[in-house]
């Protein structure tokens, strides 16, 4: 791309009008003989100024009157197309206008190492995908990966149907079944994360998709993690009940997938010891009760030392807390940091849950192993903000004050953060003064050397 121009930087009215999105003024200046490629004071053309402003109508007018889309900004060396794509927004209308006129469709945005076609695939812009391919844009493996990552079947299918390897055969045939299936699997995971159930259904029904059971389990877990129930319902029936590892039962139980969990249990897969923990945070009461009947330990510990009661309290799930307390869950249990279910409920801001725990015998006056009270947990904020009490939200402070009224120590989350002493402040001031004096001494030394020359 060229950076050449015939004019020196000046306060160009056309650039100003383009930046201010004044279409009438831009048209008047062009009609009066204004140069569409003139430079403004900021070393940018009117075209780039219009692109930065998101003024598609002005961009179209400037291109119609001869503005060169291959001229970069002088100061930043950004191309117009790069500005359109990367300058805080992606405006398809502007991008399409520029793609029509750039000299080399495959080298249009070298600054970011991506072609126009790859960017169109990443943005799932079907119109631009068709446009770029029609202009002869080359589709590569990287472009196919970008298509797969959109998780949209129409984009994936368009990319795979494009000619590959310089010939007329579609990319699906050029890549071969294994590589093609690998990219489709990536598309399947992306579609699952984004909740594109239509794409998931089409890809799973494709007989050319080579998806082993462990790959299908990964898709199922991704659907669980993203809470995409419609996708879960599509994927789950395809799981081979004869090839399901034990850790799959833990996930199924944790997310309340009753049908799959029952099938696993019927096939003699043992119930994981921590089956209740995830369920306590997500599943309904009926499933919790079912797990308890099946032998789930109401006081089992997870890797953080939390019991199911603590897990339910941390999610503010009063109904689940009630169910666990009804079967004798230990209200006094502590996790690895010495926090009880009341501490975690205070952190979650769940006053009704705290009230239920106290009614069951929980003590709001106990501290964790670092000496923090339940009121301190209610006032939690990240450590880097711990020193500023003003950042405690009103609802947090209301629960903390209520807990203090019940006997909890009136402490802040930063209670164990040592306060800055007067001597430490003095040391900081002295250090700053020393830096200033050193800088001044260096300046005097430099100035004296200049005088002696």
How does DSSP assign 386-425, residue by residue?
TT-GGGS-HHHHHHHHHHHHTT-----GGGGSPPPPHHHH
Q: Between vectors from CA 43 to CA 40 and to CA 48, what angle results, nearest 5°?
A: 75
Q: Is 280 in contact with 308 (CB distance < 8 Å)? A: yes
| 209/451 Cα distance (integer angstroms) | 79
pLDDT for position 403:
95
Q: Which residues pair with 170 in a beta bridge?
A: 163
| 41/97 Cα distance (integer angstroms) | 25
pLDDT for position 4:
42
pLDDT for position 264:
67
What the block records as the tokens of 91 is: 């405006």
Residue 392 within any structural domain of the chain: no
Average pLDDT by consecutive 10-residue portion of the chain (453 residues)?
43 86 91 88 85 89 89 77 69 82 66 70 80 78 81 84 75 80 84 85 80 80 77 80 68 73 68 78 83 86 91 92 94 94 94 95 93 90 55 83 93 58 79 90 83 69
Domain that holds residue 442: 426-453
Residue 81 within any structural domain of the chain: no
Other CB atoms closer than 10 Å to residue 388's CB: what's the count?
A: 10
pLDDT for position 24:
93
| 86/120 Cα distance (integer angstroms) | 13
Residue 334 within any structural domain of the chain: no
3-state secondary structure of 447: helix
Residue 130 within any structural domain of the chain: no
Report CA-CA distances (Å) from 453 to 415, 445, 446, 448.
60, 13, 11, 9
Q: Is 237 in contact with 216 (CB distance < 8 Å)? A: no
Residue 448 within any structural domain of the chain: yes
How many folded domains does the chain comprise?
Answer: 1
pLDDT for position 120:
79
pLDDT for position 233:
82
pLDDT for position 269:
65
| 62/27 Cα distance (integer angstroms) | 9
Residue 441 within any structural domain of the chain: yes
Q: Which residue has the tokens 């079967």?
A: 327
Residue 432 within any structural domain of the chain: yes
Single out the residue of 96, 11, 7, 6 nearest to residue 51, CA to CA. Answer: 96
Residue 430 within any structural domain of the chain: yes
366: left (phi over 0), alpha (psi -120 to 50) or beta: beta
């Amino acid at each position: 791309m060229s950076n050449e121009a015939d004019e020196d930087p000046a306060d160009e009215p056309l650039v100003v009008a383009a930046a201010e999105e004044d279409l009438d003024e831009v048209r008047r200046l062009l009609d009066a003989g204004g140069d569409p490629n003139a430079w403004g004071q900021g070393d940018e053309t009117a075209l780039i100024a219009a692109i930065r402003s998101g003024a598609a109508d002005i961009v179209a007018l400037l291109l119609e009157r001869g503005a060169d889309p291959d001229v970069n900004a002088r100061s930043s060396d950004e191309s117009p197309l790069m500005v359109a794509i990367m300058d805080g927004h992606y405006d398809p209308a502007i991008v399409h206008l520029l793609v029509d006129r750039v000299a080399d469709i495959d080298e249009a945005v070298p600054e970011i190492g991506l072609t126009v076609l790859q960017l169109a695939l990443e943005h799932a812009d079907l119109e631009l995908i068709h446009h770029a391919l029609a202009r002869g844009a080359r589709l590569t493996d990287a472009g196919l990966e970008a298509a797969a990552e959109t998780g949209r079947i129409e984009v994936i299918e368009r990319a795979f149907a494009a000619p590959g390897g310089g010939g007329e055969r579609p990319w699906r045939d050029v890549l071969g079944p294994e590589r093609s299936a690998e990219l489709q699997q990536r598309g399947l995971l992306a579609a699952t994360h984004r909740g594109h159930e239509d794409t998931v259904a089409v890809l799973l029904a494709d007989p050319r998709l080579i998806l082993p059971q462990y790959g299908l389990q990964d898709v199922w877990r991704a659907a669980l993690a993203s809470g995409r129930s419609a996708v879960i319902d599509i994927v789950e029936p395809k799981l081979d009940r004869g090839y399901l590892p034990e850790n799959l039962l833990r996930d199924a139980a944790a997310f309340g997938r009753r049908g799959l969990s029952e099938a696993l249990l019927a096939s003699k897969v043992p119930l994981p010891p921590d089956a209740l923990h995830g369920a306590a945070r997500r599943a309904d009461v009926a499933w919790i009760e079912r797990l308890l009947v099946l032998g789930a330990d109401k006081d089992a510990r997870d890797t953080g030392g939390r019991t199911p009661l603590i897990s339910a309290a941390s999610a503010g799930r009063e109904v689940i807390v009630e169910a666990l307390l009804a079967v004798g869950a230990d209200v006094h249990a502590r996790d690895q940091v010495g926090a009880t279910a009341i501490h975690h409920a205070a952190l979650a801001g769940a006053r009704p849950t705290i009230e239920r725990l106290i009614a069951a015998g929980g003590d709001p006056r106990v501290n964790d192993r670092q000496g923090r009270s339940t009121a301190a947990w209610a006032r939690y904020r990240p450590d880097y903000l711990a020193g500023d009490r003003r950042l405690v939200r009103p609802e947090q402070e209301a629960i903390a004050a209520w807990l203090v009224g019940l006997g909890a120590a009136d402490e802040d989350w930063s209670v164990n953060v040592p306060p800055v002493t007067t001597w430490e402040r003095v040391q900081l001031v002295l250090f700053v003064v020393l830096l200033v004096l050193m800088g001044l001494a260096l300046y005097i030394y430099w100035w004296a050397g200049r005088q002696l020359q």
